[in-house]
Amino acid sequence: MEISSGDAAVKRRLRLALAGARGPSDAAREIRKRLAGISRSSAFIDWQKRRALVNDLDTQRRAIVDHVEPADPKEALDLMWSFTGLAASVFARCDDSSGTIVGIFRRGAKDLARLAETARCDAMELADRTYPALLANDNGQYDHLIATLSGSLGGAGLAHLKQRLISLSKEPIKRIEDHERRKIGCSASGPIFEDEIQNRHRASVIRFALSDIADAQGDVDAFVAQYDKRATKFPKIAAEISRRLTAAGAPTKRCRDSRRSGARARRPP
C-alpha cells in the first residue's frame, strides 16, 4: 500500500485483492463501495482518463465473478445488477464512440444469465429486476437481455414480464402544457420536443421487448403483432417474419405472402 501511494488505481486493486483474500463478504463490501463511488462521480472523462475508467470497470466486473460468485452467487447477482446499472451515469460523462465501455457492460449483462442460473433466483423476482433494466437501456448495455435471461425466467417469468410491459403500453401518455414543453430541435415538419422523443422511446422499448419475449416463447403471432400492416411490407421486417413462420412450420402461403410484401417495399422503415 505504501508503494502504491500516489496511484489511486493500483491502490484500489490492492484493496480489492486483500478484501478477496479475507473472504467474499469483504470483497462484496469493497466492490459496493467502489461502484457507489463511480455512480456519484460527475467528473468528465476525457480520452486521457478513458483507459483508467475502462480498467476500473473491468476490474470490478471480474472481481464480482472471481471473488464473490463462487461463495455467494446471490450476492454476486445483486452486485452485477448494480454494476450494469452504472451505465447511465458513466455514459453521461464520457464518449464511447469506440464501443469499448458498452462492451464491458454487455459482458456484465451476459454474466447476469449465468449468475441467475447459479443463484437459482425466483423467476418473478428476476422478471421484476429485468423490467426497469429494459426501460433504462438508453445506451444498448441491455441489448438481448431477454434472450440472455430467458432460461432463468422460464415460462412464468416471461409471462410476468410480458404482462408488465403490456400494462405500461396501456398507460396514458402524460400530457404537458405547451408552455412547459422543452424544444430540443427542429425538423421539416416543425419543432421537436423532448417529451415526444421520450414517448417514442418508451413505445420502441416496449415493442422490441415484447418481440424478444415472443421469440423466447416461440410465439410467432405475438412477434408479428408488434408491427402494423404497413411495417410488415418493409423487406427487413418481412424477412424476419417469414424466417420465423418457416421455422415454426407455418403454412407456406403465409410465408410467400410475407416475402411478397417485402419484395414490393421500396424503402426501409
The answer to whether 152 touches 101, Cβ cutoff 8 Å, is no
What DSSP element (H or E) covers 183? Answer: strand 183-187
> Which tens digits make up the pLDDT trace of 189-240?
777 777 777 788 888 899 999 999 999 999 988 888 888 888 888 888 888 8
Percent over 90 (pLDDT), the chain? 48
Taking CA atoms, 35 is separated from 24, 87, 200, in Å, by 16, 11, 31
Which tops the pLDDT comparison, 259 or 8?
8
C-alpha–C-alpha distance, residues 269 and 263, integer Å: 14
User: Which amino acid type is present at position 171?
Assistant: E
Half-sphere exposure of 103 (CA within 13 A, CB side): 7
* Maximum distance among all Cα pairs of the chain, rounded to whole angstroms: 74
Contacts of 181 by beta carbon, 8 Å cutoff, 6+ apart: 193, 194, 195
DSSP annotation of 96: -
Strands 183-187 and 190-193: antiparallel
The 10s digit of each residue's pLDDT in 51-68 is 889 999 999 999 999 999
pLDDT for 182 beyond 90: no
Residue pair 16/30 in contact (Cβ under 8 Å)? The answer is yes
Given a cut of 50, whether residue 254 has pLDDT beyond it is no
Tell me the pLDDT band of 138, cut-offs 50, 70 and 90. Answer: confident
Confidence of residue 253 (pLDDT cuts 50, 70, 90): very low
pLDDT bracket for residue 3 (50, 70, 90): low
| pLDDT, the chain, mean | 85
